[in-house]
Chains A and B, each alone.
Chain A
Amino acid sequence: MRLLADTVLKSDFAFWLMMHLARRTVIENILGTPSEVVDRVSVAERARLQTMLMNILPVSCRRAGLLNDEAVVSRLGPFDLEKIEAPTLLISLEDDRYGTFPGTQYTAGKIRNAHFIGLPTGGHLWLGHNEEVITTVHDFLQGTLRTKSRDTESV
């Protein structure tokens, strides 16, 4: 299995072929998004999905980074989430195939200054919610900046 995965990562052609022959499977398992969501979203969102899909190429250039990720992830220690004081925005979707939702909820409960937004469908790419997510992030950053500049003025 390891050899197979490594072969696919080494070969751009193998990965490209897989993207075309097993598109829905790649969307589900690599992009972490349920394929049935794709059928329900707008043309613009489908175009965004297609861009993300094509952006995986050339996968061979990512190989070293992915192997490094693997090594790093397997050696991570616990984080002191309670020590985080910065305003934190957490967004997750319930049907994210990477299963980030329960962990995001948990983290939001541990970080003092956290704001959690959970959306029901859209997968890892928040398909169908792009405008909403971008607006939320934008507003969060603007709000944080305003608070920070007020604090600086008062000092």
Chain B
Amino acid sequence: MQTSSLLLPIGAIASFGFLAAIYLAYRRDIRKAQARVSTGSAVVKTERGRIEYASIGEGLPLLIVHGAGGGSIRHSISRLVLIKPGSGVFLFLGSATFEHRYRAMARLRPRLIYMRASLTHFAFPSRPLWEFRRVVLRPYSSRSGTRSAVWHWFSSYQQRLRLMDREYTRAHPR
């Protein structure tokens, strides 16, 4: 009886300590990150809006522009468009604009398509459908298991990527 009455406070203290350690580790990392992004850059006003930039080093000027960030990953995950109902053939797309274009082309050339992320669109939107090779074969699934929603989101995306890799390798043997 006495032992069990001790377990509760010990458990509570241990849990509190564990959560406090997590919080402190988070605070340490986020403070470092905030310090990093709050220094070393400047903002220039342009006719298209404000642009943040950083100038590093010496010598001849070299402009480095990074492309789209993770936003397009999220977009890709949220859309997987069926081209040909019943065939199990799917187009993995990132945007409604391209969806219409590729749907129209798919009617002309009903082949399988290989695409892994909307970044491909971002960089090469002019690439016609028939120049893509196979294959995306996994339908989008909204099934939720016992795993958390976040985990399901990422792992299902990962599964799709692996399947696409396998199919692509099969279609393009080295």
Q: Which of A12, A25, A73, A77 contacts B72 (CB 8 A)?
A: A73
Listed A/B pairs (29) with beta-carbon separation below 8 Å: A1-B78, A2-B78, A5-B74, A5-B78, A12-B30, A13-B26, A13-B30, A28-B158, A29-B157, A55-B33, A55-B36, A58-B30, A62-B69, A62-B70, A68-B71, A69-B71, A70-B71, A72-B68, A73-B75, A73-B95, A73-B118, A73-B122, A74-B75, A74-B95, A74-B96, A75-B97, A95-B165, A99-B115, A104-B123
Chain A facing B: main interface SS: helix
Scan residues 1-38 of chain A and give those whose CB is less than 8 A from a CB of chain B: 1-2, 4-5, 8-9, 12-14, 16-18, 22, 25-26, 28-30
State whether A1 touches B161 (Cβ < 8 A).
no
- 4 smallest CB-CB distances across A and B, nearest first, come from A99-B116, A66-B71, A78-B126, A74-B95
A70 / chain B contacts, CB cutoff of 8 Å: 71-72, 74-75
**CB of B7 closer than 8 Å to a CB of A:** no
Please report whether the interface of chain B is mostly helix, strand, loop or mixed according to DSSP.
helix
Q: In the complex, how many residues of chain A place their beta carbon closer than 8 angstroms to a beta carbon of chain B?
A: 53
- In this complex, the member of B34, B72, B150 whose beta carbon has the largest number of chain A beta carbons within 10 angstroms is B150
Check if A103 sits within 8 Å of B75, measured CB to CB. no
B residues near A (Cβ < 8 Å) are: 22, 26, 29-30, 32-34, 36-37, 60, 62, 68-75, 77-78, 94-98, 114-127, 131-133, 142, 149-151, 153-155, 157-158, 161, 164-165
Q: How far is the CA of A1 from the CA of B80 in the complex (A)?
A: 13
Q: Is A16 a contact of B26 with CB atoms below 8 Å? A: yes
